[in-house]
Structure 1
Amino acid sequence: MLIKENPPKPTYTKHDQLHKELINTYFQEFLEAFFPDVHDNIDFHAIKPLSEEVYTNVLKGNTRRIDIVIETTLKGTDVLVIVHIELQSYKQNDFHKRMYHYFSMLYNKFQKPIVPIAVFTYKEEWETDQYTMEFPFLHVLTFNYLTLHLKKKNWRAYIHSDNPAAAAQMSQMGYKEEERLQVKKEFLRMIVRMELDSAKQRIVYGFFGREESINFLLLHKCN
């Protein structure tokens, strides 16, 4: 099975890795904040992270690692499902095709229902949640997946929650430059309320810069 990657392809950044760490650590909170229907229908006591999947385009020699693959069950049942979350930090016009490739390969391997989710962290407006294959004489398939375009989210909608995933992702949401100071102040208020342990604080602080955030907190005391 081949995966086509259109150049130029940015390297996998430290920020991308931070997103993966955040969602893996706060998987339940992430779904609660951004995909409540998914959150309300899966059992978080049955979560099992699966090994990272790597697929290779044998023609071009490119490899691509699927970001987050988690097995769980539907709430109140023993039906196993897989939640696949793909992080995308740059605009890619055939991304919807890549999501379908991943879905197909995951299904071929695990033979279980899959909930596909794409998280866009770039500023561009491009956002597609469907891949269609059809001919003038035949509609073969329509593949749909859930999307989260963080730049389109209103950061003010999350400031009263005690959700660490939402707090961290506020740094990626749409806000005006003159609101940047207020966003950071609200983020720090959330951190104070949540009283996270040091390890989990490190992950959340990473989105705003730990040292910068601590210095800001000491200076302004969240007033």
Structure 2
Amino acid sequence: MSIDHDRLFKELIQTFFEEFILLFFPTMHEHIDFRHLSFLSEELFTDVTAGEKYRVDLLVETKLKGEDGLVIVHIENQSYVQLSFPERMFIYFSRLYEKYRKPIVPIALFSYDTVRNEPSTFTLPFPFGQILHFQFFTIELRKKHWRNYIQQDNPIAAALLSKMGYTENERVEMKKQFLRMLVRMELDEAKQRLLFGFFETYVKLSDEEEQQLRSEVNEMEAKEKEQVMELMISYERKALEKGRKQGMKHIVQAIARKGIDVKEIAYMTELSEEEVKQLIEEV
């Protein structure tokens, strides 16, 4: 199953928008009034020339401190290399400005695994002068080393360790530090689950690596060891429960396709009739 990178990044940044700005743009963070935040609906643009449709990832309407007017922050996650990306950012900017007529802050988040130098401008020069110089903010995750962020109790930093620069033999240590960050931040369960799911999507340890991780966690100071172990066990249980439910869903749906009614399936599987109906509907 392919990963919906844009959806994952949108959910993460929308949940921790202020933390995202603070981590990567501290000067910008000083000027934004985060008491005024409104997430705008998705915008769909058609590139008539290329015959493609593009959906803007995230639009946030907010205010600057001491000013009455609204501004829009546009964050675009780019999960693959695209040579025409700067032009696309300019097209988004111009169409968004045309619609909203408000100052727009464009931010590009490059999250692919390739290390390259991404441009942050789109220009239209002529021999007799330059007509356009459009500039946008950029974040190139793979160029940021994960160890530089583990002391920051910032949920965005914790999740994005998984997309920063690291070597294969650092994977176990990186997950250990990620777990330590989660324990220190003491987030509610929903936010913790979001960060854990994001990290695991991009850094999935092998059984051997998981054993090594447990061994290293066992060497931690007693209180921290207990907290990290509790966190690991909690998510292992959730993964097992999810796997059990998925397996039961396939069984129930296979039986239902044979024309057997809900009451009979409930008797066969020891589920309630309501549970059977829900599993059948999850097609």
What is the deviation of 1:208? 2.4
Output the CA distance in 1 between the equivalents of 2:2 and 2:85. Answer: 16
Work out which of the residue numbers 101, 122, 127 in structure 1 matches 2:118: 127
Paired position in structure 2 for 1:90: 80
Aligned residue in 1 for 2:180: 189
Query: Higher relative CO (CA 8 A, sep ≥ 6), structure 1 or 2?
Result: 1
Going from structure 1 to structure 2, the CA distance change for 1:15 and 1:57 (only over 3 Å counts) comes to closer
Match of 1:64 in 2: 54
Larger of the two Rg values belongs to structure? 2
Counterpart check, 1:207 vs 2:198:
yes
Asked if structure 2 preserves the Cα contact closer than 8 Å seen for 1:91 and 1:126, the reply is no
Kept after mapping to 2: 8 A contact 1:18/1:203: no
User: Match for 2:27 among 37, 49, 63?
Assistant: 37
Q: Does 1:48 align with 2:30?
A: no
SS at match of 1:115: strand
Q: Which moved more, 1:31-40 or 1:64-73?
A: 31-40
**Rounded Cα–Cα distance in structure 2 between residues aligned with 1:168 and 1:182:** 15
Counterparts of 1:20 and 1:46 in 2: how far apart (Å)? 19
If the length of structure 2 is used for normalisation, what is the TM-score? 0.70
Structure 1 segment 138-149 matched on structure 2, within 5 A: 138-149=129-140
* Shift in Å, 1:60: 5.1
Number of aligned residues: 211
Q: How many Å apart are 1:61 and its aligned residue? A: 4.1
Report the counterpart of residue 8 of structure 1 in structure 2. none
Unpaired segments of 5 or more residues in structure 1?
1-10
In the TM superposition, what is the alpha-carbon distance from 1:199 to its structure 2 partner? 1.1
Paired with 2:146 and 2:175, the residues of 1 have a C-alpha distance of 11
Partner of 1:165: 156
Cα distance in 1 between the residues matched to 2:80 and 2:3: 11
- 2:86 match: secondary structure: helix
Question: 8 Å contact 2:74–2:104 — kept in the other structure?
Answer: yes
SS at match of 1:133: strand
Per the TM alignment, residue 57 of structure 1 is displaced from its structure 2 partner at its CA by 2.6
Whichever structure has more helix as a proportion of its residues is 2
Given that 1:18 and 1:206 are in contact with CA atoms closer than 8 Å, whether structure 2 keeps it comes out as no
Greater strand share, 1 or 2?
1
Cα shift readout 1:70-117 (whole Å, capped 9, x = no counterpart): 010111221211100000011111100000000000100001111100
Q: What is the deviation of 1:174? A: 0.3
Percent identity between matched residues is 52
Q: Which amino acid aligns with 1:159?
A: I
The answer to whether structure 1 residue 21 and structure 2 residue 11 are counterparts is: yes
Matched letter for residue 20 of structure 1: K
Q: Matches of 2:138 and 2:109 in 1, distance apart? A: 6
What letter matches 2:46 in structure 1? T
Distance 2:92 2:153 in 1: 33
CA–CA distance in 2 between the matches of 1:59 and 1:133?
A: 18
Contact kept, 8 Å, 2:108 with 2:136, in 1: the verdict is yes
Gaps of 5+ in 2: 221-283
